Amino acid sequence: MPKRLEVEGVKIPWYYGVGAKLEIKGSGNDLYLGPRASIGLKKLVERETIEVFAEGSAYLDITSETSLNLDVAIGGRFYF
């Protein structure tokens, strides 16, 4: 069941999840792999065909050298 954050009467759904991150850089020689956890907010607009979101993630690189990294993203999606 999606969670909702209410700000000044506007309900904003939030989400969380776990997964994995795989990133290949350069000519395929640099490989980054590890577990990833995310949390974010999303809002559907325009008859629920457009979604805007803000998300923060943390992932642990377990290949080349072990390191904890953070990602932040904002963006949009169009559903057709």
Q: What is the pLDDT of residues 37-48, one digit of tens each?
A: 999 999 888 777
Tens-place pLDDT, residues 17-69: 999 999 888 776 788 889 999 999 998 887 778 999 999 999 998 887 788 99
**Predicted TM-score of the model (pTM):** 0.68
Strands 67-78 and 3-7, how do they pair?
unpaired
Task: Give the separation between CA 39 and CA 21, rounded to whole angstroms.
Answer: 15
**In angstroms, how far is CA 41 from the centroid of its own chain?**
9
CA angle in degrees (0–180, nearest 5) for 75-78-80: 165
Rounded CA-CA distance 41/9 in Å is 16
